[in-house]
Chain A
Amino acid sequence: MKAILALEDGTVFHGTGFGAAATAAGEVCFNTSITGYQEILTDPSYKGQIVTMTYPLIGNYGINRQDSESWRPHVSGLVIRELASVVSSWRAEQNLSSYLQEYGIPGIQGIDTRALTRRLRVRGSLVGVISTAAIDPSQAVEQAKAWGGMAGRDYVSEVTHQNAFVWDEHDLESAEFGLARDHQTPNPRHVRHPLPTADIPIVAYDFGMKYNILRRLRQKGFRVQVVPAHTPAAEALKYKPAGIFLSNGPGDPGALPGIVREVRSLVDTGIPIFGICLGHQLLGQAFGAKTFKLKFGHRGGNQPVKDYETGRVEITAQNHGFAVDPDQLPPEVSVNRRNLNDQTVEGLRHRTKPIFCVQYHPEAAPGPHDSTPLFDEFRTLIEGRG
C-alpha cells in the first residue's frame, strides 16, 4: 500500500502505508524515545498530532494490554522508518499495524525520518497530511495548508472523560508493573506489587490524563476522584478533597481561559495542588504568567532537568509543545527547575501555598523513573498540613 506524507511547506515524502487505509491531517512532531511507542500512541496529549519516531525500528515488541496510557490511541498518524514484520515479546498480543488499523489511524513507513526531523528542527513544527489514498501530492499539500495549526485549538474537550468517576475502586488496574521472579509464575503477565490503603482523597482534573498518573497516585495511597476538564472549582471542592491534581493534556494551553479561571479559584483556596504538563501550564497562567509555543517542542525520554532546590539532575520524560514564560510570574512563585538543554521552565513552586507543578512527566510511561518521588512529595505536602 503506497502512502504519502505531505507537509504544508510543500515537502512530500513517499513511503508505504500500514495501519488503517486513511487520510489524516495534524501537526507533525517528532519523539526521540527509543522504546515506548505504544504509550506514546495512547497518550491523549498527542491529540491532533502526527508523531514521527526518530528511532528507526518500530513495532519490534508489538502491542500489549498493559502498556496503554488511555482507552485508545489518540495520534492522527504515525511516521516511521521501518516497521518490524515479526513481533518479539512474551507480552505481545497484537502487532502495531493491526492495532492502528483497528482504530482507523494511518501509519507510513519507509520514510527518511532523519530528513523529516531535521526539517522540523529548522522550520519549527509543520502541519502535515498522511494519505494512503491515491491523491495527488499537491492536493495533499493544499489539505495540510488548509488544516491550520495547533495554536488556539481546544483539544481538551475532546479527550477528557465526560463524567466524573472514581479511579480503580477495586484495585485491579493500579499495581506497579513487575517481572516474574521465577519460571513457575503461572501467568507472568499478572505479576503485580501490592498496593497500600487509599487513605487520602483527592480530585484529579482530567484534561487528557495518562493512566500511569492515576496508577502512580493510587500506588502512593491516594483515593482519586477524576473529574472532567470543565468542572467548576466549587463543584470539585464538594468532594472534600485533601488535594487537587491537574493533569497533562493536548493542544494550546492559551486556548483554555475558562479552565484557567477555575484553577485560579482553586489556588485562592490554599488547597494543596500538584500539576503535570498542561496542569503546570494552567497553574502558570493562573499565577499570572503567559505560555508560548516552542519551536519544535520537547518530546522524548532523555531531557535533563536540574532541580535547583537539591542540585540534582533528573532525566525526564517530556511531551510538550508549549512552555511557561517566567517573565510575568509573581514574586511568590519560584522557578525551581529548568531544562538543562534550553533553560526553559520545568517546575514552579508557590512560596507560601502548598502548590507545585512540573512541565515534564514524573509518571514516565514511557521514560525514566527518576522523578517518581514527586508523587511522594505531593503526599508529604498534604500530610504536612495535617
Chain B
Amino acid sequence: MPKRTDIHSVLIIGAGPIIIGQACEFDYSGTQACKALREEGYRVILVNSNPATIMTDPEFADRTYIEPITPLAVEKILVRELEEMRRMGVPVDAPGDGSTPGKLVLLPTLGGQTALNTAMALHRTGVLQRLGVEMIGAKADAIQRGEDRETFKQLMIQIGLDVPISGTAHTFEEARGVAERIGRYPLIIRPGFTLGGTGGGIAYNRDEFEEIARRGLDLSPVSEILIEESLLGWKEYEMEVMRDVADNCVIICSIENFDPMGVHTGDSITVAPIQTLTDKEFQIMRDASFAVIRAVGVETGGSNIQFSVNPENGRMIVIEMNPRVSRSSALASKATGFPIAKIAAKLAVGYRLDEIRNDITRETPASFEPTIDYVVTKIPRFAFEKFPQADPTLTTQMKSVGEAMAIGRTFKESLQKCLRSLEIGRSGLGGDGKPWRVGTDVYGDREILPNDIISRKLSVPNAERIFFIRHAFRAGFSADQIFHLTKIDPWFLDQIRELVEFEEELAASAPTIAA
C-alpha cells in the first residue's frame, strides 16, 4: 500500500525536558520522524517544551511550538492548526473520499511516555474525537491494552502466553492458600488501596510471608492483598518489533540484560544480540513477540516487549510491552543500523515494510531482520555523587542519568570500550593503575579488596557491581560463588573471568621498572 493521501498535516508530540528515565533518545526519534514525514510531503507540526532539542531547530518542522506538553496546550495547538489549515484552503471539514489531503493527524508514539500520556488524555476527554483528529501509529485502545497492567496480563493469558502466577486474598487463610498454589518463594505481597503500596514487601520464606501477609491485610482498608510469584534473579530479555499495516512483522534487535530481573532495564547493562538462548528458545520468544504486538493491536510502527526467563527450566514470562518507540529503540537503531523511528513514521502513514528502502544496502527493502557480526553493549551512567541523598542501590525505579554504548567483535571488546566511554575515569574493568574508592576507603588498582566488601557489593545491585566482579575473581571467588551472589548468567561471568585472566597475564609479563 502506498502512503495515505488523505493526510495533510501531522502533529508530532516531543518528550519535553530531559529527566531521569527520559533522555535525548526521544529527541532522536522525534527528529527522525519529522525528517521522514516532511520527505513524504506532509506538513509537520511539532510541539516540545524543550528548546534545547535538535527537533526544535527551525528546519525540522513546518511549524514548531515551544509550549508545555499538557493536554490543554496541545488541544489549543490542534484548534489553532485546524484554523490555519482552513485558512490555507485545506478541505478540513469536507468528508473527502480519501484522495484529497485534508486531515490533521496526531502521531503520539515517538515522544516517549510523555507524548503517549498526553495523547491518551486528549482521547479520554473526547478532544480528539470532537476535533476529528485521528491518532496514527497506535490507536487509543491499543495503547490502553499495552499500558494497563491488568488488561495486558489478561490479554497475555488469553493468547496463551505465560505470566507471573498470582492471586488475591482477603483473609490470612486465603493468603496461605495462594502461597501454596504458587508453591515457591520469594513472593511479592501488595496490599490493596494503600498509599504507594505501603505495607507490602518481598517474602523469602514462610515466616516472612506470614508476617507481611498479616500486616498487609491489616493495613489495607479493604483487607485485600495481592500475592505474586517473584521473578527476582531471572534472566531478562527484550525484543524490538516492527509491524506494518499489512501485518508483516519483523524483529529488529534482540537484547539480553546482563543484570537479572530486579534492576530497571534503564539501569541494567544490556547486550545485543541475545547471547544465551538456543535458536528454539529464541524463535519461541520471536513468535511470542509477534503474538503480543498483534493482540495489543499496535497497527504500525515499533514496540518493545520484555520477557523474563527462569534460568533453571526455561519458563518464559511476558513482563510488559511499550506500544511506542522506546529507550531501547534508539539503542537498537544504533546497534543494527535499522532506523526504527524513521521507518515507524513511514509505516504510520501507510507504507509497508517492503515498500521502504533499506538505508544501509540502498538496494534491498526494509522488510528484513538485521543480522549482525558484532556485539553491542550498553552501560548506564550514574551520577550518585551529585545526589548524595539518593540511595545508590539499583531497583525497579530508574536512577541512571545517561548511558554509553560500544560495539566490538567480542563481548569483552565491547564491554571494555563501553566502560571507557562512560567517562568515569576508568579505562575498562581495571588494571589501569587508578585507585578504587569504596566509601571512605581507598584501595590501589591491583590491591585485593576484603571479601566482605566484595560480597556486599555483589549481592546488592549497584552502579559499581561490574567492577566488583573483577575484584571478586581477583580475590579468588569462584564463578559459582559470584553467580550465587549476583544471579548474573555464568556466560557473562566467564567473559569477565577471561578479561581478569588476561589482566593477570599482562601484569605478569610487564618488565620490572627500576624505581
- Given A34-B371, A56-B375, A188-B315, A183 and B183 touching (CB < 8 A)? yes
Across the interface, do B490 and A86 meet the contact criterion of CB distance under 8 Å?
Answer: yes
Across the interface, do B494 and A55 meet the contact criterion of CB distance under 8 Å?
Answer: no
Q: B134: CB under 8 A from chain A?
A: no
- Given A179-B314, A304-B368, A313-B248, A367 and B283 touching (CB < 8 A)? yes
Q: B367: CB under 8 A from chain A?
A: yes
Across the interface, do B354 and A181 meet the contact criterion of CB distance under 8 Å?
Answer: no
Residues of B close to A178: CB separation below 8 A:
284
Q: A180: CB under 8 A from chain B?
A: yes
Across the interface, do B491 and A315 meet the contact criterion of CB distance under 8 Å?
Answer: no
Nearest Cβ distance between residue B347 and chain A, in whole angstroms? Answer: 13
Give which listed residue, B275, B367, B371, B490, contacts A57 with CB less than 8 A: B275
Across the interface, do A34 and B273 meet the contact criterion of CB distance under 8 Å?
Answer: yes
Chain A residues numbered 169-189 whose CB sits less than 8 Å from any CB in chain B: 177-185, 188
Bound complex: CA A306 to CA B489 (Å): 39
Residues of A close to B278: CB separation below 8 A:
35-36, 38, 61, 64, 67, 89, 91
Q: B250: CB under 8 A from chain A?
A: yes
Chain B 370-406, CB-CB to A under 8 Å as 1, else 0, gives 1111110000000000000000000000000000000
By beta carbon, the residue of chain A nearest B281 is A179
Bound complex: CA A174 to CA B183 (Å): 32
Give which listed residue, A57, A90, A179, A368, contacts B286 with CB less than 8 A: A368
Bound complex: CA A32 to CA B369 (Å): 11
Q: A97: CB under 8 A from chain B?
A: no
By beta carbon, the residue of chain A nearest B312 is A90
Q: B311: CB under 8 A from chain A?
A: yes
Bound complex: CA A113 to CA B247 (Å): 36
Chain A residues numbered 299-322 whose CB sits less than 8 Å from any CB in chain B: 300-304, 306, 311-313, 315
* Chain A residue total in the interface (Cβ 8 A): 57
Bound complex: CA A314 to CA B438 (Å): 54
Across the interface, do B312 and A183 meet the contact criterion of CB distance under 8 Å?
Answer: yes
Chain B residues numbered 206-258 whose CB sits less than 8 Å from any CB in chain A: 246-248, 250, 254
- Given A60-B276, A312-B248, A364-B283, A183 and B479 touching (CB < 8 A)? no
- Given A86-B494, A114-B373, A179-B314, A57 and B282 touching (CB < 8 A)? no
Chain A 13-44, CB-CB to B under 8 Å as 1, else 0, gives 00000000000000000001111101100000
Most chain A Cβ neighbours within 10 Å, of B162, B165, B282, B489: B282
Bound complex: CA A366 to CA B370 (Å): 16
Say which one of A77-85, A135-143, A160-168, A236-244 lies at the interface with B.
A77-85
Chain A residues numbered 336-365 whose CB sits less than 8 Å from any CB in chain B: 340-341, 364-365
Chain B 433-474, CB-CB to A under 8 Å as 1, else 0, gives 000000000000000000000000000000000000000000
Bound complex: CA A82 to CA B499 (Å): 14
Bound complex: CA A86 to CA B353 (Å): 39
* Chain B residue total in the interface (Cβ 8 A): 53
Residues of B close to A341: CB separation below 8 A:
363-364, 368
Give which listed residue, A85, A91, A117, A368, contacts B498 with CB less than 8 A: A85
Q: A11: CB under 8 A from chain B?
A: no
Q: B277: CB under 8 A from chain A?
A: yes
Residues of A close to B409: CB separation below 8 A:
56, 81, 114
Q: A285: CB under 8 A from chain B?
A: no
- Given A88-B489, A181-B162, A185-B313, A56 and B374 touching (CB < 8 A)? yes
Across the interface, do A302 and B371 meet the contact criterion of CB distance under 8 Å?
Answer: yes
Nearest Cβ distance between residue B360 and chain A, in whole angstroms? Answer: 12
Residues of B close to A60: CB separation below 8 A:
275-276, 491
Residues of A close to B184: CB separation below 8 A:
183
Q: B129: CB under 8 A from chain A?
A: no
Residues of A close to B162: CB separation below 8 A:
179, 181
Residues of B close to A38: CB separation below 8 A:
278-279
A-to-B contact residues, CB < 8 Å: 32-36, 38-39, 54-57, 60-61, 64, 66-67, 81-82, 84-91, 113-114, 117, 177-185, 188, 300-304, 306, 311-313, 315, 340-341, 364-369
List 9 tightest A-B contacts by C-beta distance, closest first: A36-B279, A366-B279, A188-B313, A88-B491, A35-B279, A302-B369, A86-B494, A180-B313, A54-B373
B-to-A contact residues, CB < 8 Å: 162, 165, 183-184, 246-248, 250, 254, 273-284, 286-287, 310-316, 353-354, 363-365, 367-375, 409-411, 479, 489-491, 494, 498
